Every structure is written in structure tokens, then in C-alpha cells.
């Protein structure tokens, strides 16, 4: 009961911080709150992951924390006054690699083949929409990033099917929300503006991060005993 209360407190703090960050992104007069609360929100999610019960793999937790740290760095690059998109892209690419490595600790590589097919189709459809508006110098980096993101989300879904449970299910949701967030961000930037883009992009992004962090706290027995 005490642990559930602690989780609710962390989630409440994360939601409050995220709300202030989104309001600051949407209202120019409050932009200062965006600069403070955007990285703070991801750091709160990281702190939550660190404070969850240590019932799972230490390596899984460690890699998720590394991914969250890299995500925080990406947050900073994407909100700076100058165009730090490439640096942010690189930071999130490394974050997805860390998340992918964590997910490998819980299951084989993409054993549920349907997950690869589903995310390959989604990635292809989004990329086809982006391609005409992508600057030439970004085409290759974005291709690499999309492959890494789709691969991470597909691995999360595959591990869930391989080892059903709350931890793997919430990680799979995290992968799906990450794809949704990055698709919205890319479409808004390179295809057509999305009304209140910051709200949709950041809300789905932090849901994704919360889910991935939350997956640290529980681990199915089938995962713990995996050779």
C-alpha cells in the first residue's frame, strides 16, 4: 500500500511538471516554464524508475536509466533557442539503442514477427509522408533514427507476447506511444503544422517515458528465469 502511494505521488509530480512544460511551450509569455519543466519532467520519470522496487534485472534498470538520461539531453537540445534538431536526434537515437538493449534482457530478438511487420508498415507510411519535406542532409540520419525507433517499439511488443505480464505490457505501450510522439513531431516539423503540436507531442512522449520507466518495477517470473 505504501509503495502504491509512492507511485501515485511520483506520477502526480510528473503530470504537474509536464503540464507546466506544455503550457510554457504553447504560451510565449510563459516560455521560461517550458525551459525549466521540460527536462525536469523527464528527470522526475528517471527518479521514479530509480525508486521503484528492485525486483527486476539490475541491467534492465541501468539501461533504462541510461536511455532516460539521453532523452533528457535530447529534450534540452530540442528546446534551445538555436536549431539543435540534429543533436537532439542523435541523443534520442542513442536513447532508443539503450532501451532496445534493455528489452533484449527480457526476451529474444523480435520473436513475435508480427511486431516487426506492424512497425515497419507504420514507419514506412510516416516516412513516405515526411520524405518530400525532409532536407537532403537529414534524409539519412532520419532513416537511421526511424529504423532504431521502430525496432525498439517492435522489440517491446515482441517481448510482451513472449513473456506476458504487467511489466512487459507497459513497456510495449511505451514503445507505441514513443512512435506516436515522434511521428507527430516529425509530421509537424517536415510535413504540415499540427494545431497545438506541443500538447500532443509532449503528452504522448511523457506517457511513453513513464511507461518505459514503470516497466522497471515488475518482472514476470518467466523473464527472471530466462537463460
Q: Tens digit of pLDDT for each residue in 190-226?
A: 999 999 999 999 999 999 999 999 999 776 556 554 5
| Residue, of 20 and 28, whose pLDDT is higher | 20
- pLDDT value, residue 82: 78
**Buried b vs exposed e over 100-125: b needs ≥16 C-beta within 10 Å?**
bbbbbbbbeebebeebbebbeebbee
pLDDT at residue 5 is higher than 80: no
- pLDDT value, residue 56: 67
**Buried b vs exposed e over 52-89: b needs ≥16 C-beta within 10 Å?**
beeebbeebbebbbbbbbbbbbbbbbbbeeeebbebbb
Other CB atoms within 10 A of residue 14 CB: 22
Would you give the distance in Å from CA 147 to the centre of its chain? 14
- pLDDT value, residue 196: 93
Give tens-digit pLDDT for 102-151.
Answer: 999 999 999 999 999 999 999 999 999 999 999 999 999 999 999 999 99
DSSP code for 195: T
pLDDT at residue 227 is higher than 50: no
Distances 112 to 107, 116, 150, 157, 175 between C-alpha atoms, Å: 10, 8, 14, 8, 15
- pLDDT value, residue 223: 59
Amino acid at each position: 500500500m505504501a509503495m502504491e502511494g509512492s507511485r501515485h505521488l511520483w506520477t502526480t509530480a510528473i503530470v504537474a511538471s509536464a503540464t507546466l512544460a506544455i503550457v510554457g511551450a504553447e504560451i510565449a509569455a510563459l516560455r521560461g516554464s517550458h525551459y525549466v519543466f521540460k527536462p525536469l519532467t523527464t528527470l522526475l520519470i528517471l527518479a521514479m524508475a530509480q525508486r521503484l522496487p528492485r525486483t527486476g534485472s539490475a541491467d534492465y534498470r541501468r539501461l533504462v536509466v541510461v536511455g532516460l538520461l539521453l532523452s533528457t539531453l535530447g529534450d534540452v537540445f530540442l528546446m534551445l533557442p538555436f536549431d539543435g534538431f540534429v543533436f537532439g536526434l542523435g541523443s534520442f537515437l542513442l536513447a532508443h539503442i539503450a532501451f532496445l538493449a534493455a528489452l533484449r534482457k527480457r526476451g529474444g530478438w523480435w520473436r513475435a514477427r508480427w511486431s516487426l511487420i506492424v512497425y515497419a508498415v507504420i514507419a514506412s507510411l510516416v516516412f513516405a509522408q515526411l520524405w518530400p519535406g525532409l532536407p537532403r542532409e537529414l534524409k539519412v540520419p532520419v532513416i537511421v533514427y526511424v529504423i532504431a525507433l521502430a525496432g525498439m517499439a517492435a522489440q517491446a511488443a515482441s517481448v510482451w507476447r513472449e513473456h506476458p505480464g504487467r511489466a512487459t505490457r507497459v513497456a510495449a505501450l511505451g514503445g507505441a506511444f514513443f512512435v506516436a510522439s515522434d511521428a507527430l513531431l516529425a509530421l509537424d516539423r517536415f510535413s504540415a503544422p499540427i494545431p497545438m503540436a506541443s500538447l500532443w507531442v509532449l503528452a504522448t512522449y511523457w506517457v511513453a517515458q513513464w511507461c518505459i520507466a514503470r516497466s522497471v518495477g515488475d518482472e514476470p517470473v518467466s523473464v527472471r528465469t530466462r537463460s
